[in-house]
Structure 1
Amino acid sequence: MKKYIIALILGFSAMLQAQNTVSGTVTDMNKQPVSGVSVYVPELHKGTITDGNGKYSLANLPDGKVKLSFSYIGFITENRKIEGIQKENTLDVVIEETVFHMNEVIVSTAFNKIQSQNVMKVEHETIKELQQKGTATLVEGLATIPGVSQVSTGTSIGKPVIRGLSGNRVLVYSQGVRIENQQFGSEHGLGLNDSGIESVEVIKGPASLLYGSDALGGVLYFNPEKFADANTFQANVSQKFFSNTQGSNTSLGLKTSSDNWKFLARGSYNTHADYKIKDGDRVTNTRYNETDFKTGIGYSNSKFSSVLRYNYNALDLGIPEEGIGEQSTNKNPDFPKQGVFNHLLSLNNIVYFAKSKLDVDLGYISNNRKEFEESNDPSLDMDLNTFNYNAKYYLPQFGRFETILGVQGMHQTNTNSGEEYLIPDATTNDFGVFGMVNYQWKSNVIQAGLRFDSRNINSLAHEADDHDDHADHDGHEHHGGEFDALNRSFNSFNASLGYKTNLAEPLTMRVNVATGFRAPNLAELTSNGVHHGTNRFEVGNANLKTEQNIQTDLNLEYSNSHFEFFVNGFYNHINDYIYTSPTGTQIDANDVFEYIQDDARLYGGEIGLHFHPHPLDWLHYETSFESVTGKKQSRSGGSDYLPLIPANNWNNTIRTEFDIKNWLAEGFASISVNTTLNQNKVSGFETSSSGYTLVNLGFGGTVKLGETVFDVSLNGNNLFDKSYIAHLSRLKTDGIPNIGRNIVLGVNFDL
């Protein structure tokens, strides 16, 4: 036994001391060294920058394949792969100037390819790019991405919509873990703060093959803030001010790394008063406060990488009931209000073998949601605890074939502690197994996959008490508060097939066909109460089937040094789409609606271009148009539009880039004209919405005043104080307009 222990210790010691290094020089097209280039190994969360002579060095790299990314503002990102890394490796790189976006590594897809090699079209935006648009919340920023919209309740609550699908049909990932926070409710926001998030990737279409149930409509994948470069310490503080809500957003972060260890921490506080509409009135009780804290610690060497991250998010937000009522700039929410507390703990481990690797993500989410009617005693108090696991094994590459095998699952419990029950106490268990194959030759790529999933939902019965007959502000009033016990299992097979090729040197085509599924949620299975906003008595259906869809996507992209053009088209057919329908009866003077199923179809797409005329290197013109139509296909022969389908939108932006002497670097100025068209294709229980045009201005850059250097941005959103009501605003039924003019000032200091 002693021999085995000694051998294990010696082996572990040798593993820690194994040294694979790569070094080299980065130059431009004129063979001049480029300093300050970021050299990053994504899987190890590890990086460095080139010195004044363009030289770099990275140590403790894993055996087998190693991917490195070389990026610098104004240059095309170079992504390189070293096959069969040695103890010492030399990699010299030449980077080329560009005016367009970097070719980022896409993390949310199966094989982590760079975008130009990816079979699936994925939208990638950095949070810095979204923040430069002056948006007040993370979801507002997401809604500026073509194909993405939001269902909003004032400025405090936003739910993402991808090509007309939202709620449980869109899956959100953060820190490599699926977010579970009672997302079925229309008044339940993301519970994520953009502070401490590096970028977001948007998969527009079914992604069930990688992510299981609830990815039927798409995925939002948030990449956390990167650790500091090796052997550095960084700290920064940022502050934003919002004129409309007299709001403030403060963030403080610090991070440090050695060759092996890395650590970061970031705290932020967000506070806003009621938002103001065009005539100067404020919408009562749309105020909110948010506290967010993120931290992470990581270790990596040549054999494995491990990163542990934690995120705490607390929301104290008002629920608007009066509309334009008592006027106040108080930032403490009045009753009724919500308190939402979210803990997210994630652990990512990658183990490297000679020619393969194992990637394991573990996650735990504790979500507590309280609603307060008239006092600080919660009428609704729900605890949702979720444990996630996701393991992917990347097999040794066989010729041109790359293969992944994976298992994925979830164990979830919902417990009620308040007087009112929105959904019953329940336990949910998921298990899925999948495989994917990628085959690449020249500029062609074929990718295919197959997956099986099983979900079991087991809920407890609950009998009514006298105090259960109350309205809650999530949109339900439980008449009697009764729930029958439920035990249902849902199974689904899904497949995907994609093909990418270059039709010509600058022209790329992608074609994807994929299926997805969504098991019905507890609200759809068990509801028994009045929907507050529409005075509907909603009755769940314990016999609902799984939603199953198939979507076809076509993407064409043309790109040269001064012109980019893209067109995306999709057709999405959903079997057994779940929605509410009137029964013709009433309870307590409220029309009764029940959950039923019919087939549905959605179709549309996005089109856009980016023009950078030569020799006006400082000028950019970008335009995009997005459209989606959603229809039910009733089995009785009728047809109706689906609810919550965003209106067609056309966005135009002119942006300039410049430097001003020695005091402003990387400066930018922009004007955006965003036109939303009339939405007349509405369901039988919606009203049409009028179109509107908003004008936004932006200005910013890096200011240098002696030794003091800081970033500044100034945005004017809805500059002409337009009064408008977005089609997907939940305050639309009360005729309450969206936010008026909002001036946003932001500064960021690196300490």
Structure 2
Amino acid sequence: MNHLFRLGIFLLASIPAAWAQNHSLSGTLRDGGSAEPLIGVTVFVPELGRGAISDAKGMYRIDGLPSRNLTIQFSYVGYATALKKINAADQSRLDVDLEAATASVEEVVVSAAYIMSRESSPISIEKINKQSLLRNPYPSLMTALAKTPGVSEVSLGPGISKPVIRGLSFSRVLSVYQGARFENQQWGADHGLGLTETGLSGIEIIKGPASIIYGSGAMAGVVHLIEAPDAPAGEVTGDVQVRAYSNSLGRRVESGVKGASEKGFFWSLRGASESHADYRDGSGTSIGNTRFQTQGFKAGVGLRKNWGDTRIRYTYLQQKLGILDENNQQSLVTTRNDRELQLPFQDVTDHFLNSETSVFLGEDKLKATFGYHWNFREETEDDFARVDLGLRQRNFMYDIKYYKSLSPRIEAIVGIQGFLLHTVNYEDAAEILIPDAVKDDRSLYALLNYSDPHWVFQGGLRYDYRKVTADASAPNFLAYGFELPGSPDNRKLSRSFDGITGSAGATFRPSEYWRFRWNLASGFRAPDLAELYSNGPHPGTARFEQGSADFVREQNIQSDVGVRYQATHFSISTEVFYNRVNNYIYFAPSDERRGDLTVWRFAQDNAGLYGGEVMLDIHPAALPGLSATTSYSRVIGKRRSDQTYLPYIPAFRWNQDLGFTFRNTGGFRQPYLNATGSLVLEQSRPAPLEESTPGYFILGLHAGSSFDLWQQQLDVSLAANNILDTYFLDHMSLYRPFGVAQTGRNISLNLQFSF
């Protein structure tokens, strides 16, 4: 019955509606100074995921627009991004003059449920575009994101890392992929983000509780991976990317093609393969078994008509990830270019099927997102022929929301959201860490948004219910001797969690120079399976892990205040926050041992985290190609019971970026040169049983340009990270307690050929 219901939901997502809305928007794009037409300007409609490119006369045209207010984004390298909000039913022509600039604060964000400028959002959202990822690539997508103020990473080598937002991490940060929550068993400290940059246009990071929009697991924030836009109507485009890394002798190949017909059918195909040997630290020492490989493929089809649009996507990703054995480090060091799997390692496979449908009903809109996710996680420790920890996870998720236009300035959203997740241990797995389990998550939410030229107000309420049922009655649990807390006779336990969360915020822009932002939001997180029920050795680590079925839900309330001033030649912004977390769950070692393993236990206490970020951006008009950015971020986390520090809190960090974009010369377009620096201060506030970590400075140098090859565009970038080959320990590395340093000098070459 459940399978029939899910199939019906997917079929329902493809049924067209009868509301015919077929409006067009066209215009001319010019340089604001010279009035010359601009060729190749990207015109993008975020609500529709599509747009157009201006032609040789600076003209553009977009067809099939609905009768509602839409945000149109005009972006071009070397010019300030322009945002216009119009209704194509009332206005069919829009000419725009773009002003030359090296930096722009006006960027559209979609992660706060409403489409708006990042500067207008009361929620703090950082945006990292694909160009930034390509110019400064890292083997791990999360490492690239960790350069963002207020964002860090917890890592287990370059192949395994997960986000930290303002000091909170693990199951408190939610990943959103193709509009749906992405669950790949983030409860494990050694389980990474599990996603790559393949086929993305950028990433948005919500800093602060986002439970009101995304539910449990978003109490720290959200990492939202944004898909690349669809192909323009009547066109077929593609690209090939090749990348090489010197430190790990890594190589990555990615290629994709997409197209769209004049009648509304569109499609896309994309694949990527990546391989890395062991990395070297700043002393030139190889760190054994940090090698990893990933292969991915994604495909999508869709239809856009007068009534709206619908699309179905499929993603496949396999990761084979080596894990350093802290008790046997040197024996894992092999030849320099060795990529063969060693013990221990993880083999993680994901299949993700997703559908998104939007139906426009006059000024209103109905959007339905459904997803089905299969995750297979195998951890092998002692024998290639035997899986030590084997877990299968399947997750059906849904999010249906109705956008109601109450007036030209007020819009409401009401929706239902949830998922049904099954976790099952392999019957032949040698070890058992967590029981089989079912999570049933359901929620109802409502949000209200008011906007005018100076003010934006947002607020909302949400109710969530979650039931977690653990089952250790299968024969493999009996044979292993796994016990649930309290040893119930039927070997099953159920826990339920529910509650109400809310948020309220405002943005005030009295002039083009000032922006003030305030937000107050509550979030929550139900304990994950490992925190509730883990009771066994964790393969690939030296831990015996124990949870507690008595844990209650984490509940937090965070207040953010932000101010930004932008003048002609510079902008400065600051944000401060205080986050009060009740029933904070943390993980710490004990003095007890089980055989050769140290017992690590989850514990619960109240906590408080506070800090902020400051950023200065300079772009002098006298030197139009020069830009300089500096940012400082800090966070302090303490247990409120005894004022001791929380574990795994990032050190204070000061980032710098000095860039030059030169004039087009010869066949080279937009050549650039960037110097970056990251000063990480000593982490002198360790938690009990932690140690302080010394500070360090990382220097980087990046250069690149675009030019034509065979009448097509070739983008070339060269990035040197940790150019001084600094030997350093990262406080957020899970290898840090064993004295294992991070990656030394790494030079990466990236080539992208577009056709």
Query: Normalising by structure 2, what TM-score?
Result: 0.92
| Residue 42 to residue 507, structure 1, CA distance change in 2 (3 Å) | same
CA contact (8 A) 2:395 2:421 kept: yes
For residues 488-526 of structure 1, the C-alpha deviation after alignment (integer angstroms, 9 at most, x for no partner) is 110010010101112544011101000000000111111
Of residues 386, 390, 394, the one that matches 1:385 is 394
- Amino acid paired to 1:731: Y
CA distance in 1, matches of 2:592, 2:58: 75
CA contact (8 A) 1:62 1:301 kept: no
Instruction: Determine the structure 1 residue equivalent to 2:78.
Output: 74
Instruction: Determine the structure 2 residue equivalent to 1:560.
Output: 567
Of residues 337, 352, 358, the one that matches 2:345 is 337
Instruction: Determine the structure 1 residue equivalent to 2:7.
Output: none
CA distance in 2, matches of 1:332, 1:391: 45
For residues 399-431 of structure 1, the C-alpha deviation after alignment (integer angstroms, 9 at most, x for no partner) is 532111111010000011123222111110111
Aligned: 1:356 with 2:375: no
CA contact (8 A) 2:102 2:626 kept: no
Aligned: 1:458 with 2:469: yes
Q: How far is 1:451 from its partner? A: 0.7
Aligned: 1:144 with 2:152: no
Alignment of 1:43-192 (within 5 A): 43-83=47-87, 85=89, 89-101=92-104, 103-192=106-195
Q: How far is 1:49 from its partner? A: 1.6
CA distance in 2, matches of 1:619, 1:295: 40
CA contact (8 A) 1:22 1:59 kept: yes
For residues 296-324 of structure 1, the C-alpha deviation after alignment (integer angstroms, 9 at most, x for no partner) is 21211221111211111000111111323
Instruction: Determine the structure 2 residue equivalent to 1:22.
Output: 25
Aligned: 1:411 with 2:420: yes
Q: How far is 1:371 from its partner? A: 1.4
CA contact (8 A) 2:25 2:88 kept: no
Q: How far is 1:264 from its partner? A: 1.1
Q: How far is 1:52 from its partner? A: 1.9
Alignment of 1:129-528 (within 5 A): 129-259=132-262, 260-321=264-325, 322-325=328-331, 326-328=333-335, 329-373=337-381, 374-398=383-407, 400-417=409-426, 418-462=429-473, 468=480, 484-528=491-535
For residues 17-60 of structure 1, the C-alpha deviation after alignment (integer angstroms, 9 at most, x for no partner) is 75322222223324433222222222222221222222222222
Aligned: 1:721 with 2:725: yes
Q: How far is 1:67 from its partner? A: 3.1
- Amino acid paired to 1:412: L
Q: How far is 1:284 from its partner? A: 0.9
CA distance in 2, matches of 1:160, 1:487: 30
CA distance in 2, matches of 1:446, 1:708: 46
For residues 68-89 of structure 1, the C-alpha deviation after alignment (integer angstroms, 9 at most, x for no partner) is 2222222222222333715x82
CA contact (8 A) 1:451 1:493 kept: yes
| Residue 135 to residue 582, structure 1, CA distance change in 2 (3 Å) | closer
Bigger shift: residues 92-101 or 188-197: 92-101
CA distance in 1, matches of 2:477, 2:491: 15
Instruction: Determine the structure 1 residue equivalent to 2:554.
Output: 547
Gaps of 5+ in 1: 1-11, 471-477
Bigger shift: residues 617-626 or 24-33: 24-33
CA distance in 2, matches of 1:445, 1:593: 46
Bigger shift: residues 495-504 or 516-525: 495-504
CA contact (8 A) 1:384 1:414 kept: yes
Q: How far is 1:344 from its partner? A: 1.1
For residues 257-297 of structure 1, the C-alpha deviation after alignment (integer angstroms, 9 at most, x for no partner) is 12312111111100000111233321111111100111221
> Helix, strand or coil for the counterpart of 2:38?
coil
CA distance in 2, matches of 1:330, 1:407: 50
Compute the RMSD of aligned alpha carbons.
2.5
CA distance in 1, matches of 2:656, 2:102: 18
> Helix, strand or coil for the counterpart of 1:643?
coil
- Amino acid paired to 1:133: N
What is the identity percentage for the equivalent residue pairs of Structure 1 and Structure 2?
A: 36
Q: How far is 1:190 from its partner? A: 1.4
CA contact (8 A) 2:416 2:443 kept: yes
CA distance in 2, matches of 1:385, 1:469: 25
| Residue 94 to residue 575, structure 1, CA distance change in 2 (3 Å) | same
CA contact (8 A) 1:46 1:230 kept: no
Q: How far is 1:712 from its partner? A: 0.6
Q: How far is 1:159 from its partner? A: 0.9
CA contact (8 A) 1:25 1:91 kept: yes
| Residue 102 to residue 440, structure 1, CA distance change in 2 (3 Å) | closer
CA contact (8 A) 1:292 1:312 kept: yes
| Residue 586 to residue 324, structure 1, CA distance change in 2 (3 Å) | closer
Bigger shift: residues 76-85 or 175-184: 76-85
CA contact (8 A) 2:323 2:540 kept: no
CA contact (8 A) 2:46 2:115 kept: no
CA contact (8 A) 1:608 1:623 kept: yes
| Residue 726 to residue 580, structure 1, CA distance change in 2 (3 Å) | closer
Q: How far is 1:607 from its partner? A: 0.6
Instruction: Determine the structure 1 residue equivalent to 2:690.
Output: 686
CA contact (8 A) 1:288 1:332 kept: no
CA contact (8 A) 2:46 2:110 kept: no
| Residue 19 to residue 217, structure 1, CA distance change in 2 (3 Å) | closer
Bigger shift: residues 455-464 or 693-702: 455-464
Bigger shift: residues 118-127 or 529-538: 529-538
Q: How far is 1:236 from its partner? A: 1.1
Query: Normalising by structure 1, what TM-score?
Result: 0.93
| Residue 749 to residue 442, structure 1, CA distance change in 2 (3 Å) | closer
- Amino acid paired to 1:382: L
CA distance in 2, matches of 1:511, 1:149: 23
Q: How far is 1:330 from its partner? A: 1.1
Bigger shift: residues 163-172 or 24-33: 24-33
| Residue 23 to residue 380, structure 1, CA distance change in 2 (3 Å) | same
Q: How far is 1:130 from its partner? A: 2.4
Q: How far is 1:375 from its partner? A: 1.4
- Amino acid paired to 1:351: V
> Helix, strand or coil for the counterpart of 1:43?
coil
- Amino acid paired to 1:403: A
Q: How far is 1:255 from its partner? A: 1.0
CA contact (8 A) 2:209 2:218 kept: yes
- Amino acid paired to 1:567: T
CA distance in 1, matches of 2:665, 2:504: 53
Bigger shift: residues 502-511 or 426-435: 502-511
CA distance in 2, matches of 1:83, 1:311: 34
> Helix, strand or coil for the counterpart of 1:209?
helix
CA distance in 1, matches of 2:662, 2:589: 59
